[in-house]
Chain A
């Protein structure tokens, strides 16, 4: 397969090279513990990388890196091998100082893009055309994966195998099932991420197709507004909150709403409900119904082991209950009014449709929003199953392994398990398997505690250090739909990032972008109307302010710059009428620009550059 990495500019301008990034002193061992395939090497200096602060904003505990590995392995295979996205393969990932950097593999060869386009249409278009059926199938698959994870056995290493196992002739001892359960846990997590990405890029792509249209038709439309036109209201991700409203209503109907007074912990409330008789028990029954599955929602994105769910920590949902109860007592309707929301969405779509200027555009708009509506239930819904429900099951299962190892003295606390990689965890379990089988002591308790302490310290240390937003040479273009869609990274963003690292440029004067276009020419600094006749054809007018009597000079000049004015000031309006670039409201142009100096006016960005 002929592919290349993102093209890079010949210019040296760019971000620090990966090789120039130093491991924070004292954390070298913790850094070395990450698997070899996610360590930076010298060859990585040739490529562009950016810090994935969106998904991994904090230094990564060693175990949690499994999320990055599993996610990128699945994302890449969906793009590269399943749907064959024409212009991109997958995402590579590296880690340094606990920070995850990623880089895309773009396809740039036109012949290869063409070949992949044909494949893409055979595959992705089939998904779009059969979306509802495939998504229903997806839900079945996902539920069965969840059920298998839930069905994984509890971990137990009894002194003697249960007699019934012996009589049944099972022949395999409990220590084996520790390993088997662990491997199934890991395998299930990797599989879940495949399901996660099965529809994701296609879903985002269809949404972005509509978004892109809206941005062209309505350049100043907010992302939020487009999202409101596409959003559904029945998605699973809204259910946890809906369940809280339901529980608030139940509490009132059962007459136990007084129990939810402020300052009481969930444990106190549950205890007194249990003691309060039938109504209290009835409410607790309703709570149990809501908890499975809807309280499997994490307080974060679910990418870190410490993003706990409502089920693990009831204080979050219980803190919201008194407010809902209070609103219901005031007579507010608690259910989300989906009918009203849907009517609003319909109106919004119709109102923007009306603003389009041609019937042709309206027809295209209809096609695109129809497709966006088709894919959106997946885009909204998958998160609950993947990032919340499954992830929560997964990290809690790992906690069970942590508890088992802590119980056998491998480290003090069950949570310490997250400072081991998934390979190291498997090794520790094998250590335990062996020692349990032969009656000797495991080696782990002498080995791990110091290492865990060292890694805990490294995480704390890394959190104190900033890391560059990107590394390596800047690509000419970012044409990777995955990177644009998932991370919103565009060439323009990178320019801004680069600029943020530079000293303020004294050769630039900024003002209001009043009329777009870029022009270079001779500056004529005109301080009063009397000086107007000094202007020659092709000069750039630089003045404090213009007024209507100056209009005729706009026929001569190439661009206009003023100290004062907004986008609807006279200079701005007239410049737009004449199609000349203009930057107004600069504050200081007439002081900073010398008469006769060469300048560049970028009216679209509102920047004037002094060229000599």
Chain B
């Protein structure tokens, strides 16, 4: 099945498609094209969201109602949010759109009829350097079956009208017409361990290291901060592992029976055990370097290792905190190179 107005397969898209597939979708497409191991999937493009909202607006306006509010009117925002979310989640999809998503879902699932999937919001404003607002939109993990997928797509759309999202947009004065939501539907990695990694140190900004954090189970436990992850620092160039901080990992996220995820206690013997081997740390570093080279700038990456030991990347965004800092050059060339030694011999204070 090829990509269409409504559906975009990862292999067909890249970063330049962000206006129609959102930040997450564009990034996953970009990674897929760069031969980075990413679970297969497709994006329900923003066009689908726009048509859906248009059809709803024929009954009652949505965008103008939102724009009428100011960022301070929290109570009114909350009330409008509840109303809009109920409408979006309750309305049926247009028939043709429905059947396209069902067909894409069937193709993604292949012979395995109901593999677990992840349904993620992929907003066009999200991940933009100027609006970095970690995770205001919803993600649904371990969804099973096409009905669930369709429901989650609508819920993702609805999350764009959550009270914090509306408040945030109103506060920054983003026009509602520019707000659109694509939805990523992709295979779910049954992770035995997962986490995040930065291709520069989040603590010092050092570009010569990859910092990896991980814990047992699905990555959501680390990303949401429910578990203190193990932390590893590996030199990007030499591969030397300089930090191995093993934490007490009391909980892990696992698939819940019937879909979704739940937090369970980590088995006793794993709590204090390092979640990554040196070989895995090194393999993650290789992938991190590949992604960074592909983008030409430091990245913030989500990773997972499945039950078979395969590494998958689930997300990569440009690192924004250190990159946007105005830093002074560490040193400038000197007319007489010997002058540099005065930094050591000349007295520091």
Contact of B225 among A205, A357, A564 (CB under 8 A): A564
Q: Which residues of A contact B135 (CB under 8 A)?
A: 548, 570
Q: Count residues of chain B with CB under 8 A from any CB of chain A.
A: 62
Judged by a CB distance under 8 angstroms, whether B240 is at the interface is yes
CB <8 Å contact, B333 and A209: no
Judged by a CB distance under 8 angstroms, whether A167 is at the interface is no
A219 with B205, Cβ < 8 A, contacts A551-B134, A566-B247 known: yes
Residues of chain A from 561 to 586 with CB closer than 8 A to chain B in the complex: 562, 564-574, 576-577, 584-585
CB <8 Å contact, B203 and A567: yes
Judged by a CB distance under 8 angstroms, whether B237 is at the interface is yes
Of the candidate stretches A124-132, A433-441, A501-509, the one touching chain B is A124-132
Q: Which residues of B contact A481 (CB under 8 A)?
A: 344-345
CB <8 Å contact, A128 and B207: no
Chain B binding surface SS class = loop
CB <8 Å contact, B345 and A220: no
A587 CA to B249 CA in the complex, in Å?
A: 12
Of the candidate stretches B17-25, B114-122, B183-191, B194-202, the one touching chain A is B194-202
Judged by a CB distance under 8 angstroms, whether B308 is at the interface is no
A571 CA to B222 CA in the complex, in Å?
A: 12
Q: Which residues of A contact B206 (CB under 8 A)?
A: 218-221
CB <8 Å contact, A87 and B347: yes
CB <8 Å contact, A120 and B225: no
CB <8 Å contact, B345 and A86: yes
Of the candidate stretches A41-49, A287-295, A364-372, the one touching chain B is A364-372
> Whole-angstrom distance from the CB of B323 to the nearest CB of chain A?
10
A551 CA to B167 CA in the complex, in Å?
A: 12
Of the candidate stretches B4-12, B35-43, B98-106, B334-342, the one touching chain A is B334-342
CB <8 Å contact, B202 and A360: no
Q: Which residues of B contact A547 (CB under 8 A)?
A: 224-225
Q: Which residues of B contact A352 (CB under 8 A)?
A: 208, 237
Chain B 200-226 per-residue mask, 1 if CB under 8 angstroms from chain A, else 0: 011111111101010000000011111
CB <8 Å contact, B340 and A364: yes
A546 CA to B134 CA in the complex, in Å?
A: 12
Contact of B134 among A129, A217, A221, A548 (CB under 8 A): A548
Judged by a CB distance under 8 angstroms, whether B349 is at the interface is yes
Judged by a CB distance under 8 angstroms, whether A299 is at the interface is no
A222 CA to B226 CA in the complex, in Å?
A: 31
Judged by a CB distance under 8 angstroms, whether A74 is at the interface is no
> Whole-angstrom distance from the CB of B327 to the nearest CB of chain A?
8
CB <8 Å contact, B235 and A87: no
CB <8 Å contact, A225 and B333: no
CB <8 Å contact, A371 and B201: no
Residues of chain A from 206 to 226 with CB closer than 8 A to chain B in the complex: 206, 208-209, 212-213, 216-222, 224-225
Q: Which residues of A contact B169 (CB under 8 A)?
A: none
Judged by a CB distance under 8 angstroms, whether A361 is at the interface is yes
CB <8 Å contact, A208 and B344: yes
> Whole-angstrom distance from the CB of B34 to the nearest CB of chain A?
20
> Which 4 interchain pairs have the tightest Cβ spacing?
A363-B333, A548-B135, A219-B204, A367-B337
Instruction: Add 18 more A-B contacts to A219-B204, A514-B203 (CB < 8 A).
Output: A87-B345, A205-B345, A209-B344, A218-B207, A220-B209, A224-B240, A360-B329, A360-B333, A477-B348, A512-B231, A564-B225, A564-B226, A566-B213, A568-B202, A568-B229, A569-B225, A570-B225, A577-B321
Residues of chain A whose beta carbon lies under 8 Å from any beta carbon of chain B: 85-87, 113, 117, 120, 124-125, 128-129, 202, 205-206, 208-209, 212-213, 216-222, 224-225, 228, 348, 351-352, 355-358, 360-361, 363-368, 370-371, 477, 479, 481, 485, 512-514, 516, 545-549, 551-552, 562, 564-574, 576-577, 584-585, 587
Give 6 A-B contacts (CB < 8 Å), ordered by A residue: A216-B331, A221-B208, A512-B228, A564-B226, A566-B247, A570-B225
